[in-house]
């Protein structure tokens, strides 16, 4: 393998890790630097990104939970259907291969195996969905980085003017998902990656019109993004953020605290509903994705779904400072669009 091929192979592996959110901070910074200055590297990134998007758009068949019971029912039905034929054949019918007692034993063994293996299969299925979700979060993170590079280092803003993100007394509220929709509209990321594979939502594809500024409904977005309302900005080049970039959460599975367009005080310590409260995949400003079983995963261990030190909300609060992660509801019910 010559030097050019070796370098091409290393670049490909580096970009795959970047797109999957597996780079450390130094590697992510190298990718960001080269995307800005190396046209061939940028093209390789785009080719790999399109490949990942194509795989992400494929649906995956899921075995039904009642598969074992349905199989046994089919066996019983088959025996019932064949009974009249056996009766007509009379003595000419061949002796049964298994006695009724033996068949009962086989059925019991099948049920026992199902009791042992189905939970393991479900656990493996959950882990696979968690892995696929992490891959999608990595793709969205890479898209945020590319958008920032094209816009002076600034990640997309949800709303430059309005700052209210929960409805109250009929006051207009901002969209909390418009910033992420810029990634779809600007073709930085495919629409399919914004729906967590672990959720029940399987929305149909939609046509993106020039005048669209947001996702069609909450069925099309199941991830929460950092508060960027009212002109707040996140910059890749912010000197205050660079030392904490490894811990600065920017994007994660949807917030459990404001489900249904309201504050749910009993859920301030909960993890995302996307994975049934078991945890969430998080993209950090340094460019990597990590799974956390707890929402206390931000800078200094702060809760990524809450403002630091605040346990009550009206819907217009803002983070305490630039290093305070506050991931807003994935979608604002009733926002002007």
Torsion of CA 112, 116, 119, 120, to 10 degrees: -150
d(CA 315, CA 332): 11
- pLDDT (tens digit, 9 = 90+) per residue, 57-80? 444 444 555 655 665 566 566 556
The candidate with the shortest Cα–Cα distance to 133, out of 185, 201, 208, 183, is 201
The pLDDT score that the predictor gives to residue 174 is: 86
Q: Are 31 and 14 in contact (CB under 8 A)?
A: yes
d(CA 288, CA 245): 10
- pLDDT (tens digit, 9 = 90+) per residue, 239-268? 999 999 999 999 999 999 999 888 999 999
Residues 6+ apart with CB under 8 A from 158: 174, 175, 176, 177, 178, 179, 180, 225, 227, 228, 229, 328
Count Cβ atoms below 10 Å from residue 85 Cβ, excluding itself.
9
What tokens were used for 231? 């002109």
**Mean pLDDT along residues 159-174:** 79
Which residues is 252 bridged to in the sheet? 224, 282
d(CA 222, CA 186): 19
Task: Note the helical H segments in the chain.
Answer: 3-19, 25-37, 39-56, 67-89, 100-150, 178-185
User: How many Cα atoms sit within 13 Å of 140 on the Cβ side?
Assistant: 32
The pLDDT score that the predictor gives to residue 58 is: 46
**DSSP tag of 207:** P
Residue 203 has pLDDT above 90, yes or no: no
**Mean pLDDT along residues 282-297:** 96
**Mean pLDDT along residues 205-233:** 89
Count Cβ atoms below 10 Å from residue 218 Cβ, excluding itself.
17
Q: Could you identify the residue written with the tokens 């958008």?
A: 147
pTM (2 d.p.): 0.69
Residue 135 Cα to chain centre, angstroms:
8
- pLDDT (tens digit, 9 = 90+) per residue, 21-60? 677 777 877 887 788 788 888 888 878 877 766 655 444 4
The pLDDT score that the predictor gives to residue 60 is: 46
d(CA 96, CA 173): 72
């Amino acid at each position: 393998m010559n030097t050019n091929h070796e370098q091409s192979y290393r670049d490909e592996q580096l970009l795959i890790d970047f797109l999957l959110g597996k780079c450390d901070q130094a590697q992510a910074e190298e990718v960001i630097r080269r995307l800005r200055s190396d046209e061939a590297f940028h093209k390789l990134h785009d080719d790999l990104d399109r490949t990942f998007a194509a795989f992400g758009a494929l649906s995956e068949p899921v075995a039904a939970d009642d598969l074992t019971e349905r199989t046994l029912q089919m066996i019983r039905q088959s025996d019932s259907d064949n009974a009249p034929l056996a009766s007509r054949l009379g003595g000419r019918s061949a002796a049964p291969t298994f006695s009724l007692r033996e068949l009962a034993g086989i059925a019991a063994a099948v049920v026992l195996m199902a009791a042992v293996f189905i939970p393991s299969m479900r656990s493996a299925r959950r882990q696979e969905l968690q892995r696929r979700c992490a891959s999608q979060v990595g793709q969205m993170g890479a898209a945020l980085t590319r958008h920032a590079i094209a816009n002076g280092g600034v990640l997309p803003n949800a709303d430059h003017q309005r700052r209210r993100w929960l409805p109250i007394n009929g006051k207009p509220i901002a969209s909390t998902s418009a910033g992420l929709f810029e990634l779809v509209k600007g073709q930085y990321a495919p629409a399919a990656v914004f729906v967590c594979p672990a959720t029940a939502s399987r929305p149909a594809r939609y046509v993106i019109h020039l005048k669209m500024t947001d996702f069609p409904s909450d069925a099309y977005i199941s991830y929460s993004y950092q508060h960027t309302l009212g002109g707040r900005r996140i910059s890749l080049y912010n000197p205050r953020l660079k030392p904490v970039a490894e811990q600065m959460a920017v994007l994660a599975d949807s917030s459990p605290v404001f489900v249904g367009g309201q504050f749910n005080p009993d859920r301030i310590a909960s993890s995302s509903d996307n994975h049934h409260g078991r945890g969430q995949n998080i993209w950090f400003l340094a460019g990597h994705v990590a799974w956390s079983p707890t929402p206390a995963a931000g800078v200094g261990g702060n809760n990524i779904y809450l403002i630091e030190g605040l346990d009550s909300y009206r819907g217009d609060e803002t983070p305490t400072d630039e290093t305070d992660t506050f991931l807003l509801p994935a979608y604002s019910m009733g926002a002007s669009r």
